[in-house]
């Protein structure tokens, strides 16, 4: 059993680490993923504390901000949890989540083995779609210096992991390259249902966007 106090201390630690980050991977992203994860966990047979710790630590060393080193997250997680009174098998379960949660092209999907990890993955993907997902998409594009949209740049589908990392497209293309595909990647029934609603909201948003682009309304 992992004590609730460890979850609270981890939340405070992650909050202090992410303070001031504005690229879309800020503390409030972690907060929303944590909430999404708790919501999904209610309908699944799982270890709630592992879900919560996995959600809180899932971006602790996101590869996009660590020059491609994908091991950093697992190592940072292990180091943070080691001083606490937690059995090693639980620490390993959380490290497994942190190491496998990121979207790195669809070819790398399905590496997540545990139900706790699948829940965190769903929770993280839910935060990339819907109203919040749209805001994050454009915030990230601004941070990277990408254009909002260019009708002459076509979406680039089914990218490999390497292409996905180095790709510079437009943020509207990002909807077609990633965001609109996420609903089909959800693991749990609860997330599938939420994703369906958020997906429809994005479809409506795009319809309005293109109509405005062409001066049709
Ligand atoms: Ni995340």
Cα four-point dihedral sign 117, 109, 68, 63: negative
Residues with Cβ within 8 Å of 164's Cβ and at least 6 positions away in sequence, in order, are 104, 105
Q: Closest Cα to residue 112, out of 34, 191, 186?
A: 186
Three-state SS for 71?
A: coil
User: Is the distance from CB of 169 to CB of 150 less than 8 angstroms?
Assistant: no
Angstrom distance (rounded) from CA 116 to CA 37: 9
Dist CA 136 CA 64 (whole Å)? 15
Tens-level pLDDT at each residue, the chain (217 residues): 678 999 999 999 999 988 876 655 789 999 999 999 999 999 999 999 999 999 999 998 764 455 656 678 899 999 999 999 999 999 999 999 998 886 554 555 567 889 999 999 999 999 999 999 999 999 989 988 999 999 998 888 877 777 777 777 899 999 999 999 999 999 999 999 999 999 999 999 999 999 999 999 8
Cα-only R_g, the chain: 18
Q: How far is the CA of 41 from the centre of ligand 1 (A)?
A: 17
Q: Which residues surround ligand 1, an ion (CB under 5 A)?
A: 59, 124
The per-residue pLDDT for 150 is 94
Quote the CA–CA distance of 94 and 197 in Å, as a whole number: 29
User: What interhelical angle do 72-81 and 4-18 show, nearest 10?
Assistant: 130
CA 76 / ligand 1 centre spacing (Å): 15
**Domain coordinates in residue numbering, the chain:** 4-213
Distance from the alpha carbon of residue 133 to the mean position of ligand 1, in angstroms: 11
Residue 194 C-alpha to ligand 1 middle, in angstroms? 17
100 CA distance to ligand 1 middle (Å): 11
CA of 124 to the centre of ligand 1 (A): 5
In 3D space, the residue among 39, 79, 41 whose CA is nearest the CA of residue 61 turns out to be 79
Q: In a 3-state reduction of DSSP, which class is residue 188?
A: coil
Residues 6+ apart with CB under 8 A from 112: 96, 97, 100, 101, 118, 121, 187
Q: How far is the CA of 58 from the centre of ligand 1 (A)?
A: 6
pLDDT for res 159: 77
Specify the pLDDT at position 169. Answer: 86
Q: How far apart are CA 140 and CA 172, in angstroms?
A: 12
Distance 211 CA to ligand 1 centre (A): 31
What's the pLDDT at 63?
47
- Give the domain 4-213 fold: Hypothetical protein af1432 (1.10.3210)
Ligand 1 centroid, distance to 216 Cα (angstroms):
36
């Amino acid at each position: 059993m992992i004590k609730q106090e460890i979850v609270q201390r981890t939340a405070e630690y992650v909050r202090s680490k992410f303070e001031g980050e504005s690229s879309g991977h800020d503390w409030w992203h972690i907060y929303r993923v944590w909430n999404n994860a708790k919501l999904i966990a209610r309908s699944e047979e799982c270890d709630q504390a592992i879900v919560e710790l996995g959600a809180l630590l899932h971006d602790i060393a996101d590869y996009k901000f660590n020059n491609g080193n994908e091991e950093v997250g697992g190592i940072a997680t292990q180091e943070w949890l080691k001083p606490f009174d937690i059995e090693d098998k639980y620490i390993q379960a959380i490290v497994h989540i942190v190491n496998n949660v990121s979207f790195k092209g669809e070819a790398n999907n399905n590496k997540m083995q545990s139900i706790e990890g699948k829940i965190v993955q769903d929770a993280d993907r839910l935060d990339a779609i819907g109203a919040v997902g749209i805001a994050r998409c454009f915030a990230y594009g601004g941070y990277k210096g990408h254009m909002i949209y260019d009708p002459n740049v076509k979406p680039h589908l089914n990218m490999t992991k390497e292409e996905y990392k180095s790709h510079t497209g437009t943020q509207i293309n990002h909807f077609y390259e990633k965001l609109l595909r996420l609903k089909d990647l959800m693991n749990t029934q609860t997330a599938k249902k939420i994703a369906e609603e958020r997906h429809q909201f994005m479809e409506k948003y795009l319809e309005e966007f293109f109509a405005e682009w062409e001066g049709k309304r």
